[in-house]
Structure 1
Amino acid sequence: MDLITLFTLAAGLSMDAFAVAVCKGLAMQRMTIKKAAAVAGWFGSFQALMPAVGYMLGIRFRDEIAAVDHWISFLLLLLIGANMIREAIWGKTEESNDSLAPKEMFILAAATSVDALAVGITFAFLDVNIFTAIVVIGTVTFILSMAGVKAGNRFGMKYKAKSEIAGGAVLILLGIKILAEHIGIF
């Protein structure tokens, strides 16, 4: 996987974290760099950890499903992307507070990184340097989450749904690209 595709994937994966970071920023009476870094640290760490876990799971079962790996990658990315778009359009508004308590942040970070776990499984079937992938995904998520806290604190919920729709569309397009490459279209 080339770096441009990896950065695009990382941006798509980070949109859930960005949206929740916007909510966190919205709820903060006074946003500080320390608070924004705490939110971004949770999200960036989980977004980096989950693909590594998914990759290990995928490696474990790679030989058993090698013949259909591109279809699995396509379907996982399609489902994750479609779910992001569905939630952005019809999902309920997330309630947020300015709490940065470890229990709450753990739950939010885990919930926003489940899609990264699924993507990590697909990495086991692709030509991906997992170390580079987790560094890029974690870093992009950290940066976009910092920006999300700041944007939420400054502008509110105006762009939350649009960012989730864009992230979902990116994941769907990447799934189509993977499938097309494996069946010989590209």
Structure 2
Amino acid sequence: MNPIALLLLAFAMSTDAFAAAIGKGASLKKPSFSEALRMGVIFGSIEAITPVIGWLIGKSASSYVETWAHWIAFFLLVVLGLYMIYEGMKPVSEEVEKPSSHSFLKVSLTAIGTSIDAMAVGVGLAFINVNILIAAALIGLATTFMVTLGVMLGRTIGSVLGHRAEVFGGLTLIAVGVWILLGHL
């Protein structure tokens, strides 16, 4: 696989994480660049690890991962999206404010949900001549960049949507999950 194809693959793998990051940024109270970068690094790290896992599995059991990866991603993203919608629909009290950051666990679960497809790509990469470490690093870097950008864009969207930004974020995660599922059916 040539370097340009690898770079295009890396950015293609980061698009669903970018969409989820916009929702995450919208649900926060004016996220700072450092918070956006923290989320970008979490997403990027997970997105870099999953193709390596897929590559390793691809060497032994590719049909299992390819069969179930999109269902796992769909389930995780829908559950997280429904939770965000639930949180966004709660009555607003005067004292409740948007959080300034999301927990590591919440960000990691969302990142895992959006990176399941990268695991399936890793399975495919196991059957072609590609350096998986370079491919994984490029995917991780592209995702870090795109998620950081997405959170900062979500900040603008959040100021427009107000408290309902959490609902927007949840709907975005569900849409990404459905998109992944439909892309594999």
TM-score, reference length from structure 2: 0.66
Q: Is 1:57 aligned with 2:60?
A: no
What pairs with 1:86-101 in structure 2 (closer than 5 Å)? 95=85, 98=99, 99-101=101-103
Report the equivalent of 2:118: 116
Q: Which residue of 1 aligns with 2:130?
A: 128
Q: Unmatched 5+ residue regions in structure 1? A: 66-71, 173-186
- Give the Cα–Cα distance (whole angstroms) in 2 for the partners of residues 22 and 61 of structure 1: 34
Residue in 1 that maps onto 2:31: 31
In the alignment, is the contact (CA less than 8 A) between 1:58 and 1:122 conserved in 2?
Answer: yes
Which letter maps to 2:105? K
Q: Paired residue for 2:162? A: none
Compute the RMSD of aligned alpha carbons.
Answer: 3.4
Distance in 1, matches of 2:142 and 2:32, equals: 20
CA distance in 2, matches of 1:105, 1:131: 24
Pick from 137, 154, 157 the counterpart of residue 156 of structure 2: 154
Count of equivalent residues: 149
Match of 1:55, SS state, is helix
Is residue 58–residue 120 contact of structure 1 (8 Å, CA) maintained in 2?
yes
Cα distance in 2 for residues equivalent to 1:10 and 1:57: 20
Return the alpha-carbon distance in structure 2 between the equivalents of residues 147 and 93 of structure 1: 24
Verify the 8 A CA contact 1:56 1:121 in the aligned structure 2. yes
Q: Which residue of 2 aligns with 1:48?
A: 48
1:60 is displaced (CA, Å) by 2.6
SS at 1:113's partner residue? helix
SS in 1 for 2:54: helix
Per-residue Cα deviation, 1:146-167 (whole angstroms, up to 9, x for no partner): 110111112456xx69xx6xx9
| 8 Å CA contact retained: 1:38, 1:100 | no
Partners of 1:149 and 1:13 lie apart in 2 by: 17
Asked if 2 retains the 8 angstrom alpha-carbon contact of 1:31 and 1:153, the reply is: yes
TM-score, normalised to structure 1, is: 0.66
Q: 2:105 aligns with which of 103, 106, 112?
A: 103
Shift of residue 43, structure 1, vs aligned partner: 0.6
Q: Which runs of 4+ in 1 moved over 3 A?
A: 91-99
SS at match of 1:21: helix
Hey, what's the Cα distance between the residues in 1 that align with 2:8 and 2:122?
Answer: 15
Structure 2's unaligned 5+ residue stretches are 89-97, 159-167
Map Cα deviations across residues 41-97 of structure 1 (whole Å, 9 max, x no partner): 1110110000000011112347xx8xxxxxx9xxx5xx96xx99xx9xxx9896477
User: CA–CA distance in 1 between the matches of 2:119 and 2:30?
Assistant: 33
8 Å Cα contact 1:51-1:117 kept in structure 2: yes
